[in-house]
Structure 1
Amino acid sequence: MSANSRLTIAAHALAWIGLYQRQGHPVATSEQIADSANTNPVVIRRLLGELRAAGLVESHRGAGAGWTLTRELAQITLLEVYDAVDTGPLFALHRGTPNQGCVVGHGIQPAMTNIYAGVEETVREELRKTTLEDVLQAVLAAR
C-alpha cells in the first residue's frame, strides 16, 4: 500500500505561493512551484485546478500569468485543503464481500466502519485546527 501525498503537495504549493507573495511577487507559476516540490508542473497544475474549484487560489492569464491565494495563509485550514484534493475516505473496506458464513467475515466490515469513522473525525478535527500559516511557520523554523 502506498500513502497518498496529494495533501502534502497541495499544502506545499499553497505555502510556497503565500511565502512568494509575501516577498513581493504578484503571482507564482506552476513551474516555480513544481521546482520547489520537485515534481512535474502538470501535477501542480492539476492540484491547483482542484484548489481553484474550492476557492483557495485564483489563476491569472495573459501577461503576468500565474496563481495567487484568495485568502491569507492564516485563514486557510488544512481541512479545506484536504477536502479540496482528497475526496475519498482515509481507509477502505474489502474490495469484495468477505465470506458471510464466517463469523469474522460477517462482522468485520461493520466493526471497521465504526472504527474508521472515529479515526476520520479525529483526523478532520486536527486538520481543522491547523492553518497553512502554522505549516509555513513550522517550515521556516525547520531551516
Structure 2
Amino acid sequence: MKRDSKLSGVLHVMLHMAEVGRPVTSETMAKAMQTNPVVIRRIMSGLRNAGFVRSEKGHGGGWTITRDLAAITLRDVYAALGSGELFAMGNRTESPGCLVEQAVNAALNTAFDDAKALLLGRLEAITLAELSADFHDRMVASGKSIDLETVHAA
C-alpha cells in the first residue's frame, strides 16, 4: 500500500527554504521532492493561501517563507495541504444493514476518532522551529553542511 508522503515532503522542503534565506524556485524544490515543478506549485498554493509562503516572479524569484517558524505547527501545514486522510484503514461500508458490521463499525469509528485526535494533537504541539532545531543538532553532530541546490542532486 502506498503511503501519502505529501506532508513529510512539504515539511522537508519548508525547512530547506528556511535555511536558504532567499527565494527557492519550484524547480529546485521539485528536485528535492523528486517530483514535477507543477506538483510543487499546486502544493505551495495551499501554503500561500494559509499565509505561510509567498512567491516572487522573475529573475531571482521563487518561494519564501513569510511567517516565523515558531508560529507554524505541523497541524497548520497539514490543514494547508487540505487535511487529507490520516489513515489508510476504514470501514468496509459506511451504512451497513448487518448488525454485526454495525458493531464492528462502532468500535472502529471510536478507535479511529481517538487515534485521529491524538495524532492531530501531537501535530499541533510541534512547530517548524522545533524541526529546524532538531535538523541543526543533527547537522552539527554529523559534521555536514546542507545546500538545497546540491544535497538532493541525483
- Find the aligned partners of 1:48 and 1:85 in 2 and give their Cα distance: 9
RMSD: 2.0
> In 1, are the aligned partners of 2:51 and 2:67 still within 8 Å (CA)?
no
- Find the aligned partners of 1:36 and 1:82 in 2 and give their Cα distance: 19
Aligned AA (1:52): R
Aligned residue pairs total: 138
Which of residues 111, 131, 134 is equivalent to 1:138?
134
- Find the aligned partners of 1:36 and 1:99 in 2 and give their Cα distance: 44
Q: What per-residue deviation string (whole Å, max 9, x for no partner) do you get for residues 90-126 of structure 1?
A: 23533535753352x1212222111111111111111
Aligned AA (1:45): R
Which of residues 9, 21, 41 is equivalent to 1:45?
41
- Find the aligned partners of 2:94 and 2:110 in 1 and give their Cα distance: 17
Task: Report what 2:8 is aligned to.
Answer: 8
Gaps of 5+ in 1: none
Task: Report what 1:101 is aligned to.
Answer: 98
Structure 1's 100 and 76: CA in aligned 2 closer, same or farther, altered over 3 A? same
Which of residues 57, 62, 78 is equivalent to 1:61?
57
Gaps of 5+ in 2: 140-154
> In 2, are the aligned partners of 1:13 and 1:44 still within 8 Å (CA)?
no
- Find the aligned partners of 2:32 and 2:90 in 1 and give their Cα distance: 35
Moved more, 78-87 or 93-102: 93-102
Structure 1's 63 and 95: CA in aligned 2 closer, same or farther, altered over 3 A? farther
> In 2, are the aligned partners of 1:6 and 1:86 still within 8 Å (CA)?
no
Which of residues 32, 39, 44 is equivalent to 1:36?
32
Q: Secondary structure at the match of 1:116?
A: helix
- Find the aligned partners of 2:123 and 2:96 in 1 and give their Cα distance: 36
The share of aligned pairs that are identical, in percent, is 33
Normalization by structure 2: what TM-score? 0.78
Q: Secondary structure at the match of 2:55?
A: strand
Which of residues 85, 88, 95 is equivalent to 1:89?
85
Aligned AA (1:71): R
